[in-house]
Structure 1
Amino acid sequence: MPEQSAGHLIVESLEAHGVDRVFTVPGESFLDVLDGLHDSSVQNVVCRQEGGVTYMAEAHGKLTGRPGVAMVTRGPGASNAFVGVHLAWQDSTPLVLFVGLVPVAHREKEAFQEFDPHQWFGSQAKRVMVLDDPDRASEYVAEAFFAASSGRPGPVVVGLPEDVITQRTDAPVVPPLPVAEGAVSAEDLAELAAALETAERPAIMLGGPRWTPEAAAQVSGFAERHGIPVVSDWRAGDRIRTDSPVAVGELGYSRTEDSVRVLRDADLLLVVGTTLSDIPTDGFTLRQERSARNWVVNVDAALRQHSGAVARHVLASPVAFGRTVAGLDLGEHPEWTGWLEPAASAHREHMRIPSTAGNNAPGTADMELVVKALLPHLPEDTAVTTGSGNHTAWAQRYVPKGGYPCHFSVRNGTMGYSVPSAVAVSLAQPERFVLSVSGDGEFLMNSQELATAVQYGAHPLIVVVDNGQYGTIRAHQERHYPGRVSGTQLRNPDFAAVARGYGAFGARLERNEDIEGVIADGVRAVTEDRVPAVVHVVADPAKLLPGM
């Protein structure tokens, strides 16, 4: 092999792993890798803050199922990037973060921006690796991608000392390591069929990582053939289409009580891809009985996050499980229809915008009417991104999910995700309509990535719900300290003017009468002018959630 620097070998290894883009904020600590990207096939998307870098990489991982790649510098850069690492850890998203480090000879001297990546990231990453041998550069890339993708996916951090990556090596490119999907054994399948045959109230819960569109269609098709209700884990409503006759809604916040009833009262619950964690179980209070028949299909041998009984653990990914049950026929079970239909009907009713929409304060626009105006413009494969906060409920409740993957959100409650994730999805799939719904406080945490969107041609439609407050915390505050508003109020800029300053479309909504025209203009900017669009909705601060 011809000699090259370790930094250039890393880039060549990324190409061998099929990486088409990386997300970065540049730093002097990894200049040689940046130089390697100059002549490579890998697009370098330069972001405005390291939190946006890891958010974009995480969203790319959710979209593709392959590790998103982020690159930041040491010290402050790594600190800012940590938020996306925590997200990838709790959301089980494959992500590889490369962090430039001080030269080897400067270690443990409190050199400029020095930090210990093992101590910083050790509790929130599947692996933390520091490259000290240039001959192992490609090996580290292969191991990082394998660790990030295998079992329960998650983030891997690779430290790159700035002097090591400039050293020469003739080591070859290490090819990608195959990731096992696990398997459903003949015994597993026979016992599952027998358990379902004797069940009077079976249910399926879908969520977690390692899905593909084919796996989602196969598992939901199995449920539809047999009339088994399907409840979705929190932030995982796109594993089954909204219009499926067996879909009964998403657990967590903005749910129906019927979806909770399905989870609670099922005499056999088949959990596929995810676990019974705290949010869907209402803080580990639902389905915790030792006698509960919970079949868990999950490729994570450790079943991290799971609480409650496990009748059987099938060590398989959704892909392996979907292939197996695609041909499974349990025969006719008409008695299951009576168990399914009330929850399915409640789910369909929950998605209808109520006739009371428009009952909002003067000088504001009603978000229910905004969504109503949006729906006719949304293609079936629309991708929706949301951050964390009450604003997510508008998209979760009313925007249909047309197939996996189409909903990009956060299970760890982090804010600032909506804009960077929308940019990442739009860059990866430029012909797809991307709708982002953001809160006002949430939007301001990473709105600077609009500059990234304009620079690289991403064109999402971003709806900002401006109720002048951190609405979720205000709601908690009113519950625990009624009438004592403290530390939750915001004075916001004109978000439409901010968007125009970045070179995006921007419009402001303060009246219900203007909604349809402004939405049409925003859609036209996205689909015809191919620029990002921001619709600033001045919302009634008293209407914190849909239906209030």
Structure 2
Amino acid sequence: MTQLISAPAPDAAPATAAPTTATAGHEIVRVLEEHGIRRTFVVPGESYLEVLDGLHDSSIETVICRHEGGAAYMAEAEGKLGQLPGIAMVTRGPGAANALVGVHTAWQDSTPMVLFIGLIPLAHRHKEAFQEFDVDGWFAAGAKSVVILDVAERAQEVVADALFLAQAGRPGPVVIGLPEDVIRETIQRHPQPALPVAEGGMTAGDLEALRDALETAEKPLFVTGGSDWDAEASARLTGWLEQHRLPAVAEWRTEGIVPFDSPSYAGPIGYGRPKPTLDVLEECDLLVFVGTLPGDVVTNGFLVRQGWERRNFLVSIDPTLRGRSGAVSHHILARPGAFARDLARIELAPDAARADWTARLREQQRAFSALPARTPKPGPASMDTVMAHLVPQLEHDALVTFGAGEHTNWAHRYFPTRSYPSMISCGNGSMGYSIPSAVAASLHFPERQVVSIAGDGEFLMNGQELATAKQLGATPLVIVVDNQEYGTIRTHQERRHPGRVSGTQLENPDFAMLANAYGGFGFRVETDAEVPAAVEQALARWRAGERFVLLHVLTEQRSQAY
């Protein structure tokens, strides 16, 4: 019997086999996609057109930024917000130079990040070609690795290795150079699985040493910090601390690991800290650093707790303990998540002295963070009044971002960091971080209320990224604190050279009008009496969810927070 094979329907397309080759640029995008990368922050350049073309049909969201510094900051913030490295892409020479600020931030904050830089063709090297520069010379001192993709066939491997290295050990930035001719070459497609990142954990010896130290301590204190956390690790550590009535302070600009409302939370510790929080470093008889180390900010310039008789337990995945100072009684090689998981194996008997110690520190923090009076005062607008009206109306899981300057003090003191992550900032004191990080946070958590507190000088460094916010639909609530000066430097200046103000005074635009021009909603506040209504209007606009909102607060030329 003859078998009849029906012809395909006229409108049926013939089956097409998946392509077995692609350009190296397209394979770079595919590996990023398969490793779970959700977005990349770019300023386009002709040097990496093949990668941009690969992004065209990719599931990866391409966030088009207005400046390479803004793109790098956004990628660094993304590395803090999620569980994968943030990705930035810029062009050669000037583009790479502008992105260096974000790499330095990622290096000092131990944030996983990968920066891709388009480069000149291989044949043009060492001829002073247009925008040529020494990638290794520029970035080697401040990145975990600098790799040039000189062989197209290694594209998949190089990307996977970079993602792994950015996360492995102490996290940090990795830089990949992409010669424009190499990424146009056609190569074989092949899978490149993600490499597992070691978490470490407590050994039997670690458990015994920590248990003994805690049981013999009357005034123990935990210090949390770093970028290597997630919500589960935060919840586990908080639950264990509360169960055993133990206190924890937060390293500078990393609040929210132990929530603001927790009975174990004893406040921020860093520049601008309240003096009682600094004093407890000397008073406590056991310090346990988790995810961070006793560096210069925590120890007030390597002055506090430096004696070798001190008991300091350091929980860090970095075997070199780069950046630590003072005594090291015991080093536990573990990421915060693995440490918090293993803590469940330590049970401590109730202790009245430890409970009283924790209650005392908690009460100090409650007094420090109590909101100012809501009643406006005569004269210019005050950030005290702004916070008094804003904080009670924040969503429970509100998130704050900020860069550097005296305006950050109000966030440290009053912002209720309740849901990890809820504070995104830069430990290296980098100005211009507030707006890019707010855009990244709003894109990463579109359902959450993102508030950014920026100084006037800081805003003018990367405020143009509000155009990125409008284009991508990010909706942060931005507060610009305008005292017409670089306030932190003015403060230092007055201490060293009283009455000789030099190089710190500013003449600013109307930031509310600027926000409107960028496509958002701007509100200008000149007097304290205007604050309550302005905060209400700004929040009403934010709740509408249409666009970003900016509150321009004109204040006096003096610090009002501490």
TM range (shorter): over 0.9
Q: 1:512: which partner in 2?
A: 528
Task: Please tell me whether the aligned partners of residues 219 and 326 of structure 1 are also in contact (alpha carbons under 8 angstroms).
Answer: no
Q: Which has the larger radius of gyration?
A: 2
1:546 counterpart = 2:558: no
Q: Which amino acid aligns with 1:30?
A: Y
Provide, for residues 453-508 of structure 1, a one-character-per-residue CA deviation record: whole Å limited to 9, x for no partner: 00000000000000000000000011111111111000000000001001100010
Q: 1:214: which partner in 2?
A: 232
Q: 1:44: which partner in 2?
A: 62
Q: 1:107: which partner in 2?
A: 125
> Unpaired runs of 5+ in structure 2?
1-18
**Distance in structure 2 (CA, Å) of the matches to 1:196 and 1:431:** 40
1:261, CA displacement in angstroms? Answer: 2.2
1:200, CA displacement in angstroms? Answer: 1.6
1:264 counterpart = 2:282: yes
**Distance in structure 2 (CA, Å) of the matches to 1:99 and 1:374:** 41
Q: Matches of residues 179-190 of structure 1 in structure 2 within 5 Å?
A: 179-190=197-208
**Distance in structure 2 (CA, Å) of the matches to 1:482 and 1:342:** 38
Q: Matches of residues 494-513 of structure 1 in structure 2 within 5 Å?
A: 494-513=510-529
Q: 1:458: which partner in 2?
A: 474
1:335, CA displacement in angstroms? Answer: 1.1
> What secondary structure is seen at the aligned counterpart in 2 of 1:217?
helix
Q: Which amino acid aligns with 1:73?
A: T
> What secondary structure is seen at the aligned counterpart in 1 of 2:462?
coil
1:417, CA displacement in angstroms? Answer: 0.5
**Distance in structure 1 (CA, Å) of the matches to 2:75 and 2:247:** 34
Q: 1:372: which partner in 2?
A: 388
| Equivalent residue for 1:202, pick from 215, 220, 223 | 220
1:430 counterpart = 2:446: yes
| Equivalent residue for 1:229, pick from 212, 230, 247 | 247
Q: Which amino acid aligns with 1:440?
A: D
| Equivalent residue for 1:421, pick from 437, 446, 466 | 437
**Distance in structure 1 (CA, Å) of the matches to 2:386 and 2:428:** 27
Q: Relative to 1, partners in 2 of residues 1:238 and 1:464: Cα closer, same or farther, differing over 3 Å?
A: same
1:427, CA displacement in angstroms? Answer: 0.7
Q: 2:11: which partner in 1?
A: none
Q: Which amino acid aligns with 1:254?
A: G
Q: 2:195: which partner in 1?
A: 177
- Figure out how many residues of one structure are paired with residues of the other and give that number: 544
Provide, for residues 223-271 of structure 1, a one-character-per-residue CA deviation record: whole Å limited to 9, x for no partner: 2112222111111111111111121111112312221122222211111
**Distance in structure 1 (CA, Å) of the matches to 2:417 and 2:151:** 47
Task: Please tell me whether the aligned partners of residues 434 and 461 of structure 1 are also in contact (alpha carbons under 8 angstroms).
Answer: yes
1:199, CA displacement in angstroms? Answer: 1.2
**Distance in structure 2 (CA, Å) of the matches to 1:488 and 1:259:** 30
Q: 1:389: which partner in 2?
A: 405
1:355, CA displacement in angstroms? Answer: 4.2
Q: Which amino acid aligns with 2:256?
A: D
1:196, CA displacement in angstroms? Answer: 1.1
Of the structure 1 ranges 318-327 and 65-74, higher mean CA displacement relative to structure 2 is found in 318-327
TM-score by length of 1: 0.97
Q: Matches of residues 8-19 of structure 1 in structure 2 within 5 Å?
A: 8-19=26-37
Q: Which amino acid aligns with 1:508?
A: R
Q: Matches of residues 468-487 of structure 1 in structure 2 within 5 Å?
A: 468-487=484-503
Q: Matches of residues 115-130 of structure 1 in structure 2 within 5 Å?
A: 115-130=133-148
Q: 2:40: which partner in 1?
A: 22
TM-score by length of 2: 0.95
Q: 2:81: which partner in 1?
A: 63
**Distance in structure 1 (CA, Å) of the matches to 2:136 and 2:189:** 26
> What secondary structure is seen at the aligned counterpart in 2 of 1:527?
helix
**Distance in structure 2 (CA, Å) of the matches to 1:103 and 1:356:** 62
1:253 counterpart = 2:271: yes
**Distance in structure 2 (CA, Å) of the matches to 1:499 and 1:355:** 29
Q: Which amino acid aligns with 1:302?
A: T
Provide, for residues 20-73 of structure 1, a one-character-per-residue CA deviation record: whole Å limited to 9, x for no partner: 110000000000000000011111110000000000001111000310000000
Provide, for residues 260-297 of structure 1, a one-character-per-residue CA deviation record: whole Å limited to 9, x for no partner: 12222221111111000000100001111111111111
> What secondary structure is seen at the aligned counterpart in 2 of 1:232?
strand
1:186, CA displacement in angstroms? Answer: 1.6
Provide, for residues 304-361 of structure 1, a one-character-per-residue CA deviation record: whole Å limited to 9, x for no partner: 110111111010000100111134211111111232222211111111133497456x
Task: Please tell me whether the aligned partners of residues 184 and 315 of structure 1 are also in contact (alpha carbons under 8 angstroms).
Answer: yes
Of the structure 1 ranges 367-376 and 23-32, higher mean CA displacement relative to structure 2 is found in 367-376
1:377, CA displacement in angstroms? Answer: 2.0
Q: Aligned Cα RMSD in Å?
A: 1.2
Q: Which amino acid aligns with 1:462?
A: V
Q: 2:115: which partner in 1?
A: 97
> What secondary structure is seen at the aligned counterpart in 2 of 1:316?
coil
**Distance in structure 1 (CA, Å) of the matches to 2:276 and 2:545:** 43
**Distance in structure 2 (CA, Å) of the matches to 1:40 and 1:239:** 34
Q: 2:414: which partner in 1?
A: 398
1:319 counterpart = 2:334: no
**Distance in structure 1 (CA, Å) of the matches to 2:320 and 2:470:** 43
Q: Which amino acid aligns with 1:481?
A: H
Provide, for residues 402-422 of structure 1, a one-character-per-residue CA deviation record: whole Å limited to 9, x for no partner: 021110011001100000000
| Equivalent residue for 2:96, pick from 65, 72, 78 | 78
Provide, for residues 144-185 of structure 1, a one-character-per-residue CA deviation record: whole Å limited to 9, x for no partner: 001101111000000000000000100413111110100111
Task: Please tell me whether the aligned partners of residues 221 and 326 of structure 1 are also in contact (alpha carbons under 8 angstroms).
Answer: no
**Distance in structure 1 (CA, Å) of the matches to 2:342 and 2:328:** 21
Q: Relative to 1, partners in 2 of residues 1:483 and 1:278: Cα closer, same or farther, differing over 3 Å?
A: same
Q: Which amino acid aligns with 2:544?
A: E
Q: 2:174: which partner in 1?
A: 156
